[in-house]
């Protein structure tokens, strides 16, 4: 939505998000890590997260090739 020129405050309002700061954090996580950045990671072991991250990186690399 941001790419369409809609201000973050307007997007937050339309989605019912009370804190624009939360939306900014989600946008940054998505920009940096894609879908993986928005996934729930609480309670998951670090090695599982690392393996998932590696698999995602390899899939993206394969897509480029």
**What percentage of the chain carries pLDDT values higher than 90?**
5
- Distance separating alpha carbons of residues 27 and 38, to the nearest angstrom: 9
Each residue's pLDDT tens digit, 5-28: 888 888 888 889 899 998 888 888
The single residue listed with the structure tokens 């940054």 is: 28
Instruction: Kindly state the greatest CA–CA separation across the chain.
Output: 42
- Angle between helical axes of 8-15 and 20-33 (0-180°, round to 10): 100
Domain map (residue ranges) of the chain: 8-40+48-64
- Distance separating alpha carbons of residues 23 and 16, to the nearest angstrom: 11
């Amino acid at each position: 939505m941001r790419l369409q020129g809609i201000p973050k405050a307007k997007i937050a309002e339309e989605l019912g998000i009370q804190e624009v700061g939360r939306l900014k954090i989600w946008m940054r996580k998505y920009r940096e890590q894609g879908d993986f950045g928005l996934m729930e990671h609480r309670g998951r072991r670090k090695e599982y997260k690392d393996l998932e991250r590696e698999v995602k990186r390899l899939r993206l690399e394969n897509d480029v090739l």
